[in-house]
Amino acid sequence: MADIEQSETARVFGHVKWFDPVKGFGFVVAESGGPDILLHVNVLRNFGQSSVADGSGIEIATQSTGRGVQATEIFRIDPPVKSDTAPLADIAQLDEDTVRSAPLEPARVKWFDKAKGFGFANVFGKAEDVFLHVEVLRRSGLSDLQPGEALALRVIDGKRGRMAAEVVAWEAGVPEDD
């Protein structure tokens, strides 16, 4: 019987070249160079997200397979440095410390339309919807949201009501059991 060679995993820093949540995959480019790294939606879901913005910084574990290099685990995602859209007026003037001081609130996406650039979420235990803008998603390292998707939000009072100033993985908004 032939030996099956087990490939070692490597920790890689890079950026998301592109990711298509409809196709369920995308590619990462390593800072150190080399071939593109396949990023499958299941690896993203294990991290607590269903999408990631193009250009996001990313730290991943990779493994070489017969089909190329693939991401096996995500350790960190940083929002893209450059944005193609104008800043959202409600959050453009906000101090980052003000946003960070807002508590994380667990929520579910009611609907989100990437083409329109916005949607709404429901925070658990609160009747009022929270506005979600695509620019806030990009700043948070996301590109799209699906109805029913669980996430955590830092919510502020905007000019037209409650709006998300930051969106993070669901696990970040759920208190840990001691």
Report pLDDT digits (tens) over 115-169. 888 999 999 988 889 999 988 888 888 888 889 988 999 988 877 788 998 888 7
State the pLDDT at residue 121: 95
Domain ranges of the chain: 9-78, 89-173
Q: At residue 107, what is the residue type?
A: A
Picking from 22, 55, 59, the residue whose alpha carbon sits closest to that of residue 139 is 55
* pTM of model > 0.85: no
Residues 6 or more apart whose Cβ sits within 8 Å of residue 139: 79, 83, 166
Lowest mean pLDDT among 39-48, 74-83, 126-135: 74-83
Query: Token pair of 90, please?
Result: 């409600």
Task: Using pLDDT thresholds of 50, 70 and 90, give the confidence band for residue 108.
Answer: very high
Q: Do domains 9-78 and 89-173 have the same CATH topology?
A: yes
| Topology adopted by domain 89-173 | OB fold (Dihydrolipoamide Acetyltransferase, E2P) (2.40.50)
State the pLDDT at residue 54: 87
| Topology adopted by domain 9-78 | OB fold (Dihydrolipoamide Acetyltransferase, E2P) (2.40.50)
